[in-house]
Structure 1
Amino acid sequence: MTNVINSAFHPINFPKPTLISVNGIALEVFEAGRQNAGKPIVLCHGWPEHAFSWRHQVPALVAAGYQVIVPNQRGYGNSSCPTEVTDYDLEHLTGDLVALLDHYGYQEATFIGHDWGAMVVWGMTLLHPNRVNKVINLSLPYQERGEKPWIEFMEDVLGNDYYFVHFNRQPGIADAVLEENTSQFLRNLYRKNKPLRAPQPGMEMINLAKAKTPLGEPIMNNSELAVFVSAFETSGFTGSINWYRNLDRNWQLLADVDPVIQQPTLMIYGNHDLIPKFERLPEFVPKVEVISLDCGHWIQQELPEETNRAILKWLEQQEAS
C-alpha cells in the first residue's frame, strides 16, 4: 500500500514523500530517479535527522544513473513510531530496509548511511549480507563488538552523564527537554566551526536544548532547518532516542554473527568530527577505502559538493573494476 503525502520541501528538487507499508509499519519514503530502475541506492539518515539531510546527494546520484530511495526510518517524520522500546533494535530497523527492497522488487542495493544510519547500514550488512552489494558510511565507523555490552562499556569509560548512557539509565528525561525546546535544540546542534572549549558539566544534549545562544556557524538556512523542526514537532523525540535504548540488545543480537564485512566499502570521516576514527577498520572491513574531509560531524550537509564527488568517484571505480 502506498499513499502520497502532500508536503512542501526545499530545495525544489527534493522528491515528494510516499507512505509505504513494510514490516508491519509505515515508512515515509522519498524516491527519485525511477527512470534508473535496476540501480537502487538507499540513503539512511542519522540522529536527530531526517531523509532531508540527503537533499544535496539525491540529484547528484540520480544524474549519475541511480534510483535513489530515502526513507525516514521508524521513529522519524511521518513514519510509524511504535511504542515498544524493543521495536527499535537492529532486527527491526534492518528488517524495515529488507522489506523496502522487497517492495521495490530488488534483491540487493547499495546502502549509504550517516551517523546512526551508518550503524544501521553496518548492521544490515552483517545481518542480511545478501541484500547489500556496496557500503558507503559517513562519520560512524564499524563498531567492534567487545566483551562488554556497549552501554555498560560507555558507562564505565564516559560516565552517567554521557548522553548514550543517560538516554538508557534515565528514560524520558531528555525526551521531554528536547520536545520542550525542539527549535532551539536543533538550531544549536546543526552547527559547524564551533570554538573548542572544555567539556561542560551535565548531559550534552540537554545542555544544547537549553542553551540560548548557539556556537559556531549554521550548516543550513532557516527554511531547511524548518523541515527538521517541523518533523520533530510532529513525531517527538522518543521514537528516535529508542534507537539508543537498544544498543545492548543489538550487542546481544550480533553475538553469533560473522563480524567481518566482505562488501566493497567507502568510509568517509570528517576531520573535525568528535567521533573517533577506527584504526583497525580493515580487520573487520577488508575491502574498505577510507577518506577524510575537512569538516565536522554533518558531513554531507557541511561539504555537499565534496561528499558527492567522493561518493560518485568511488562508485564509478567500483563499476569499472
Structure 2
Amino acid sequence: MPEITHRTVETNGIQLHIAEAGEGPLVLLLHGWPESWYSWRHQLHALAAAGYHAVAPDVRGYGRSDKPGAVEAYSLKNLLADFVGLLDVLGERTAVVVGHDWGAAMAWTCAALHPDRFRAVVGMSVPHLGRTPMPPTQLFKHMFGDRWFYILYFQEPGVAEAELEADVPRTMRTLLAGVPGFDTTAEVVRTRKKGDSFLTGIETPATLPAWLTEDDLAHIVKELQGSGFRGGLNRYRNMDRDWAELPELATVRIEQPALFMVGEKDPARAFAPVDLMKPLVPNLQEVLVIPGAGHWLQQECAAEVSAALLAFLKRLPT
C-alpha cells in the first residue's frame, strides 16, 4: 500500500498541512465540515496506487494548518488563493480538484474561476449552484421562516463553538454515526424551535457504523480537540461575503470535464437540487447516486468512490 506522508508548506501567507501519496498527475482532495485530510485516507491510497499524486490538505482552520482569527479570513477568495498557491508550491501548472461538502463548493469555485489551473473537477454531496438570487442568509430566512436551520444557527460567532466543543467525542460520534443536525428531513430536526442547538434531541449512538472504527473516530476527535470548530464555522459566516465578492458566479460556466457524486441518503439532497447546476456545468459527464450511502460519502463507500474517481480520471485527455 502506498505510504501517506505529511509536510507543511507555505501558501498565500499561511502554513498549510498536507497529506500526500504517489507520483504522477496531481489530484487535489478538499475536505468539508468538520473534517480534515483524514476523510480522504482511502482515496489517497487508491489514487497513488493507480499512478497519481494525491494531495489532501487540512483546509485553513483545521488540523495542523494555520487558523487565522478573523472571520473574513475564511472567504472563498482566500481559500482559493490557498489552493492556487499550493499548486505553485508543488510545481504543478494544473490539477484535477475533488471536493466533498464545503470542499465541493471550493472545488467547483476553483474550476469556475481558475480554469487554467484546474483541468477537471469532481464534486461530492454539494452540487454547483452558482450564485443565489439574494444573499444566502436572506434566502435561508425566506425558505425556512421561523423554522430552525443549522446554517442560520452557525452565524453568531461563539454560539455553535461553545456547544460543539463542550464534548468533542460526543459531538463527533453523534454527527458521524447518528442523525446529523443538518438533516432537515429528520423529525428531530424539523420540530426544532428557535433557541435549540445543533445537537438538541439527537441521541448519541453507542455503536459505530461499519465504515467508521473507534480508532478512526479517536483520530478525528483528537484533531478537532486541537483545532477547535471556529475555523470551520467561519466558512459558513462568509456566505454573504462570498455572494458580494464573487458576482461572476451568477453566469460563469464550468467548461472542464466534471463529475458529481452523492449518497442516496445524503440529507443535503433535500435543499441542494442537482438539476440547477446542469446549465452551469455543461460538461458534467455523470451524476452518480451511490445506493445506501449518506453524507460521509468517501468514507462510507470508499471503494465505490475510489473506483468512480479513477474511471473519471482515466477518461480525461492527457
Q: TM-score, normalised by structure 1?
A: 0.88
Say if 1:127 and 1:285 are closer, same or farther in 2 by CA, change over 3 A: same
Residue 316 of structure 2 corresponds to: 318
Give RMSD over aligned pairs.
Answer: 2.4
How many angstroms apart in 2 are the aligned matches of 1:206 and 1:226? 24
Structure 1 residues 130 and 148, CA gap change in structure 2 (3 angstroms): same
1:143 aligns with 2:129: yes
What's the offset of the Cα at 1:302? Answer: 0.6
Q: Alignment partner for residue 290 of structure 1, among 287, 291, 298?
A: 287
Higher mean C-alpha deviation, range 53-62 or range 122-131: 122-131
Does 2:279 correspond to 1:308?
no
Runs of 4+ residues deviating >3 angstroms: 192-197, 202-207, 209-212
Give secondary structure in 1 for the equivalent of 2:32.
Answer: coil
Please list, as runs of the form range in 1=range in 2, the aligned pairs for 1:144-183 lying within 5 A after superposition.
144-159=130-145, 161-168=148-155, 170-183=156-169
Structure 1 CA distance for aligned equivalents of residues 246 and 126 of structure 2: 18
| Greater Cα offset, 276-285 or 226-235 | 276-285
Measure the CA separation in 1 of the matches of 2:162 and 2:201: 12
- For each residue in 1:46-99, what CA deviation from the matched residue of structure 2 results, as whole angstroms up to 9, or x when unmatched? 000110000111111011110111100100001000011000000100100001
Contact 1:49 1:228 in 2 (8 A): yes
Task: Say which SS state the counterpart of residue 111 (structure 1) adopts.
Answer: strand
Amino-acid identity (%): 35
Determine if contact 1:177/1:209 at 8 Å carries over to the other structure: no
**Does residue 62 of the first structure (1) align with residue 48 of the second (2)?**
yes
Instruction: Trace 1:225-304 onto structure 2 (pairs within 5 A).
Output: 225-257=217-249, 258-276=251-269, 277-288=273-284, 289-294=286-291, 295-304=293-302
CA distance in 2, matches of 1:215, 1:113: 30
Equivalent position to 1:30, from 19, 28, 50: 19
- Greater displacement, 206-215 / 286-295: 206-215
The answer to whether the 8 A contact 1:94-1:120 is kept is yes
1:259: Cα distance to partner? 2.2
Task: Name which of 112, 120, 136 aligns with 2:106.
Answer: 120
1:188–1:209: 8 Å Cα contact kept in structure 2?
Answer: no
User: CA 1:193–1:251 in structure 2 vs 1: closer, same or farther (change >3 Å)?
Assistant: closer
Q: Unpaired runs of 5+ in structure 2?
A: none
Q: Structure 2 length normalisation: TM-score?
A: 0.89
| 2:206 matches 1:191 | no
Size of the aligned set, in residue pairs, is 305
The runs of 5 or more residues in structure 1 that have no matched partner are 1-11
Q: Give the Cα separation in 1 of the matches to 2:125 and 2:196.
A: 18
Q: Is the 8 A contact 1:260 1:285 kept in 2?
A: yes
